[in-house]
Amino acid sequence: MPALMNLTSHSRAARVASACSVSRTQRASSRICRAVNQISSPSDEPSTRSPLERAAIGLATAAAVVMGTFSPLVLEPPPAHAILVASDPVKNAQAILRNALPINNKPIRQIQKDLESISEALRIPGSKSLGPVSRAIRASQDVLTRQRDAIVKDFAPEKKDFGLENIEKLQVALNEFQATVEAKDKQAVPIKQREALTYVGNIEEAMVKGFPFQVPPEYADRPLLLGRATLEMKISCRETPEGPQTVVQTVVLDGYNAPVSAGQFLDLVLRKFYDNMEIQRADGFVVQFGDPEGPADGFVDPKTGDIRRVPFEVKVIGDKEPIYDFTLEDLGRVNEQPVLPFNAYGTLAWARNEFENNSASSQVFFLLKESELTPTGSNLLDGRFAVFGYITQGQDALADFKVGDKIEYVKVIDGAQNLKNGPSA
């Protein structure tokens, strides 16, 4: 497993500063150098944390969660001046993936918002919650009826039939949903909500036109996922509360926001790299795997004989394209939120050496989100490790995984056609 190294504020600034001399595109270089000036300039506003606090609570703490070095600092609450957000972060993987789609259609986003609000309404005890649920359904029906044309006109031409099909399915689902509420069947509400939101997500995906940005030339020859892919992962668990179990999980990779990260993982899946591999870490913080047998700590590319590395990649909300090679900490952007955050139980990301941003290769981890360890509004992993997917079904089983449990297979269910420069390329 990759190991940690020591961190000082000076070494961080020096490391980033030296990167300004690396040959890159003029646009990327100027952005990096400006960020370095902000990091190292004596005119910066004084930090309220000492260098030791920044190291211990910031990067070092985050790294301890992921890279195999446990620190009791992980258990400490964030300082009072930690990052604040306007509202509680979205913790549902499906909702995060819907929000991450590169679309801008207000009617369908309003329907999504109304239907997602039902989860909060269900916290109201007894039948009192059914009133807000019914209002949310009616609001969704109203938008779908009145603004159908505005929704349809945003479909990508090649996806229009798929989009129209899901509009019809959504209309039927909303009618059935309302009937469920009128029957006061509260237990069925989450089931009908998930069904309706599935159709909403399909409608939104039908609006994505092409690919939203160009991958930097230096990484354009890597395996790239230019869209999304759905995987099935089967794990044999030797010991659970119910005895030995075989678990099947669904994982969605998001190439719209992490094409290089998701593409290189999908490439390994298609090579069956992870099949019959054991879980190598399961400590209540993360479930980690991907370290192959032998001296190499990653995937050895048969074309070169060298370990293939994965460049660090993160897309920030509001940016048109991802950042490569540098963490948000490196660039002084720790207050900004990634499109793919570590909010959901079962977030999938690359493991790497703490101070080598581009050192990932084949080792990945699923995060077991606990608010006491990564406090809401102050997630210590966001922008420091590269997220590229989420478990969308079966994530609860992660808590039962133990070192030595076997991954029987990881296979592609949908989206293999979105991979460019794959194993056969």
pLDDT digits (tens, 9 = 90+) for 58-98: 444 354 445 443 332 232 233 333 333 445 678 999 999 99
Residues across the chain: 425
pLDDT digits (tens, 9 = 90+) for 212-238: 999 999 999 999 999 999 999 999 999
Fill in the DSSP letter of residue 100: T
* Local confidence band at 377 (pLDDT 50, 70, 90 cut-offs): low
Delimit the domains of the chain by residue range: 1-88+212-425, 103-205
Owner of token pair 């955050």: 341
pLDDT of res. 19: 41
pLDDT of res. 36: 38
pLDDT of res. 20: 38
**Amino acid letter, residue 87:** S
pLDDT of res. 88: 67
312-to-167, 262, 326 alpha-carbon distances in Å = 38, 11, 7
* Long-range contacts at 267-274 (CB < 8 A, ≥ 24 apart): 267/223, 267/419, 267/421, 267/422, 267/423, 268/299, 268/362, 269/231, 269/410, 269/411, 269/412, 270/412, 270/416, 270/419, 270/422, 270/423, 271/423, 272/409, 273/299, 273/362, 274/407, 274/409, 274/410
Residue 300, judged by CB atoms within 10 A of its CB (0-12, 13-18, 19+), counts as: middle
* Local confidence band at 127 (pLDDT 50, 70, 90 cut-offs): confident
User: Who wins on pLDDT, 277 or 52?
Assistant: 277
* Local confidence band at 378 (pLDDT 50, 70, 90 cut-offs): low
Residue of 54, 55, 51 whose CA lies nearest to 4:
55
150-to-79, 111, 115, 155, 402 alpha-carbon distances in Å = 46, 13, 19, 10, 49
pLDDT digits (tens, 9 = 90+) for 147-197: 999 999 999 999 999 999 999 999 999 999 999 999 999 999 999 999 999
pLDDT of res. 370: 54
State the fold for domain 1-88+212-425. Answer: Cyclophilin (2.40.100)
pLDDT digits (tens, 9 = 90+) for 333-373: 988 999 999 999 999 999 999 889 999 999 999 999 654 44
Full-model pTM: 0.81
Instruction: Quote the CA–CA distance of 110 and 132 in Å, as a whole number.
Output: 16
Q: Is the pLDDT assigned to residue 245 strictly greater than 60?
A: yes
Helix (H) or strand (E) holding 177: helix 160-182
Instruction: Give the mean pLDDT of 130-137.
Output: 96
Q: Specify the 3-state DSSP secondary structure of 314.
A: strand
pLDDT digits (tens, 9 = 90+) for 291-323: 999 999 999 999 999 999 999 999 999 999 999
For the ranges 5-9, 37-41, 229-233, 248-252, the lowest mean pLDDT is seen at 5-9
We find that the CATH architecture of domain 103-205 is Up-down Bundle (1.20)
**Which token pair is 174?**
């909303």
pLDDT of res. 87: 54
pLDDT of res. 232: 99
Q: Is the pLDDT assigned to residue 375 strictly greater than 60?
A: no
User: One fold for both 1-88+212-425 and 103-205?
Assistant: no
Owner of token pair 């807000």: 132
Q: Is the pLDDT assigned to residue 27 strictly greater than 60?
A: no
For the ranges 10-14, 26-30, 163-167, 262-266, the lowest mean pLDDT is seen at 10-14
Percent of the chain with pLDDT strictly greater than 90 = 72
